[in-house]
Amino acid sequence: MKKNISYIDSVHRDGRIWNLSVMFLLLMFPVAIALIFRVAPDWGALLKGLIPTVAMYWTVGAIETVTFVPMLGAGGSYLSFVTGNISNLKLPCALNALEQNEVSANSEEGEVISTIAIATSSIVTTLIIVLGVVLIIPLTPILSAPALQPAFQQILPALFGGLGVAFVSKNWKIAIAPILLMLVLFIFVPALDSSMVGMMVPVSALFTIAIARIFYKKGVL
C-alpha cells in the first residue's frame, strides 16, 4: 500500500531531488567543456583562487539559509535557491504576497502562497530575459541614452525603498534600531561596501531580534 505523505514532506522530498539535480548539472557544465575541448584547468591557480573565496561563500550560504528560510518557507526556499536573485526579487515577492494574504511563511497557507509567488516571479523573470535578448539590439540606442542612466541607477533603491516604507510604517519602533545601526556601520567603517551586504543581513537580523526582545520585556511593544 502506498504511504500517504503530507504536503510539507513532499516539498522537502521534491526540493532535495531538484536541488541536488540542479547542483549536479551546474557542476557537470565545466566538466563537459573540459571533455569537449580536451582541456584541463590549472589546478594550482584554481586552488589559489578558491582558498580566499570558498570561506566567504560557505559562510554567506549558511547565513542566507538561516536568514531566508523562515521568511520564505520550505517550498519557497528550495525554489529560490535554485533560481537565484533571492534578496532583490524572490524575497520581496514572497513577503508582499504573504503580507497581502495576512499569513505567515511557516503556516501551510503561507507555504503555498510563498511558493506560488516565487514561481511566478521566476517565470516572469525568465520571460523578461527572453524578451530582453530578442529586443536588445533594437532597444540599445534607447537604453543607452544618457537621459535614462539616472533611472537605471535607482531601480534597486526604489524597489527596496517601497518595501521598506510598507514594513517600517507597521513596525517603526523595531525598525529604527537596525536602520541606525547599518547607517553608522556603513558610514563610519570604510571597509564595509556593497560586497558585504550579504554578511550584514544576519547581523542586522540578530540585532533587531535582540532589540525587539528588550522592547517587549519593557512593555514598549
**Cell digits of residue 59:** 559562510
Sign of the dihedral through C-alpha 113, 115, 117, 123: negative
The answer to whether the beta carbons of residues 101 and 1 sit under 8 Å apart is no
Amino acid at 58: W
What is the share, in percent, of the chain residues with pLDDT greater than 70?
Answer: 92
Place of cell 520581496: 92
Q: How far is CA 118 from CA 42, 76, 103, 195, in A?
A: 39, 6, 16, 25
pLDDT tens digits along 97-115: 888 888 887 788 888 899 9
pLDDT tens digits along 151-187: 877 877 777 777 677 667 777 788 888 888 888 888 8
Q: Cα(199)–Cα(21) distance, rounded to whole angstroms?
A: 28
- The residue-averaged pLDDT of 13-33 equals 90
Q: Cα(180)–Cα(166) distance, rounded to whole angstroms?
A: 18
- The residue-averaged pLDDT of 124-146 equals 86
pLDDT of residue 197: 67
Q: Which is higher by pLDDT, 159 or 83? A: 83
Q: Which is higher by pLDDT, 2 or 31? A: 31
Dihedral, 46, 48, 51, 57 alpha carbons, nearest 10: -50
Dihedral, 7, 12, 17, 19 alpha carbons, nearest 10: 120
Task: Check whether 83 has a pLDDT greater than 60.
Answer: yes
pLDDT tens digits along 49-78: 887 777 667 777 777 787 788 888 888 889
Q: Cα(140)–Cα(137) distance, rounded to whole angstroms?
A: 5
Domain residue spans of the chain: 7-170
